[in-house]
């Protein structure tokens, strides 16, 4: 899959999620997704940010990760910093 086509699929999928998910759930999902991608503009969730991702949002997170990984060029792993206490989310089984 070429990068432009893959980006278009990702954008369409995100817009579909925006239309069908409750706003707060969509915002939480996108915050987690941007943090996963290491986006410099991604805001770190506050300690009292609310409930962890719902099972539906966890499933959508995995779908977004697959869509992103399918068209992204291989890159060396980024250094990871430990997540603050309470910010780890169970993404379930694939």
Query: In angstroms, how far is CA 9 from the centroid of its own chain?
Result: 15
Answer whether residue 35 is part of any domain.
yes
Answer whether residue 82 is part of any domain.
no
pLDDT tens digits, one per residue of 3-16 = 566 778 899 999 99
The domain total for the chain is: 1
Q: Which domain holds residue 18?
A: 3-44+51-71
Cα–Cα nearest to 28, from 64, 53, 63, 59: 53
pLDDT tens digits, one per residue of 56-82 = 999 999 999 998 886 666 666 667 776
**Cα dihedral 4, 14, 39, 49 in deg (nearest 10):** 180
Answer whether residue 76 is part of any domain.
no
Under 8 Å between Cβ of 36 and 72: no
Answer whether residue 91 is part of any domain.
no
Cα–Cα nearest to 30, from 21, 55, 86, 78: 21
pLDDT tens digits, one per residue of 25-50 = 999 999 889 888 886 555 555 444 55
Answer whether residue 56 is part of any domain.
yes
């Amino acid at each position: 899959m070429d990068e432009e086509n893959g980006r278009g699929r990702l954008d369409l999928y995100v817009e579909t999620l925006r239309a069908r998910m409750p706003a707060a759930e969509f915002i939480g999902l996108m915050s987690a997704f941007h943090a996963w991608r290491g986006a410099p503009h991604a805001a770190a969730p506050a300690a009292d940010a609310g409930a962890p991702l719902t099972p539906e949002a966890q499933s959508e997170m995995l779908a977004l990760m697959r869509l992103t990984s399918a068209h992204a060029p291989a890159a060396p792993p980024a250094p990871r910093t430990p997540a603050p206490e309470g910010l780890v989310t169970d993404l379930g089984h694939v």
